[in-house]
């Protein structure tokens, strides 16, 4: 039996990884709690020198691109305060 959820996820990841985009601007700053840093990146679909219209790219690429970013974000995320516990030597 085919797992449709896995097939859909792989299809979205495949689409999300081939989307041409470029970073227009990045901004970093302190978050509200003054302990964490946030990064905001402004992106535009379409690579450097391409004649493709960003509005045409977004029609086929938006869901895959967002799914790929979300997947990478959850993979990299950690609960607050656990970064220091990467290594615990055995006693």
Tell me whether residue 39 is in a domain: yes
Cα gap 70→62, rounded to integer Å: 12
Tell me whether residue 7 is in a domain: no
| Structural domain of 26 | 20-46
Residue 4 has what pLDDT? 79
Write the pLDDT tens digit of every residue in 42-64: 998 986 665 778 888 889 999 99
Cα gap 78→82, rounded to integer Å: 7
From residue 58, alpha-carbon distances to 12, 15, 17, 67 in Å are 13, 11, 14, 13
Domain total of the chain = 1
Tell me whether residue 83 is in a domain: no
Cα gap 82→24, rounded to integer Å: 33
Write the pLDDT tens digit of every residue in 4-42: 778 999 999 999 999 999 899 999 999 888 888 888 999
Answer positive or negative: Cα dihedral of 50, 56, 58, 61.
negative
């Amino acid at each position: 039996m085919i797992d449709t959820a896995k097939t859909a996820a792989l299809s979205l990841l495949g689409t999300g990884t081939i989307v041409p985009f470029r970073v227009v601007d990045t901004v970093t700053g302190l978050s509200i709690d003054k302990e964490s840093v946030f990064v905001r990146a402004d992106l535009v679909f379409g690579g450097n020198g391409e004649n493709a219209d960003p509005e045409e790219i977004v029609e086929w690429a938006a869901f895959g691109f967002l799914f790929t970013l979300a997947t990478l974000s959850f993979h990299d995320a950690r609960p607050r305060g656990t970064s220091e516990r990467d290594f615990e030597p055995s006693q």
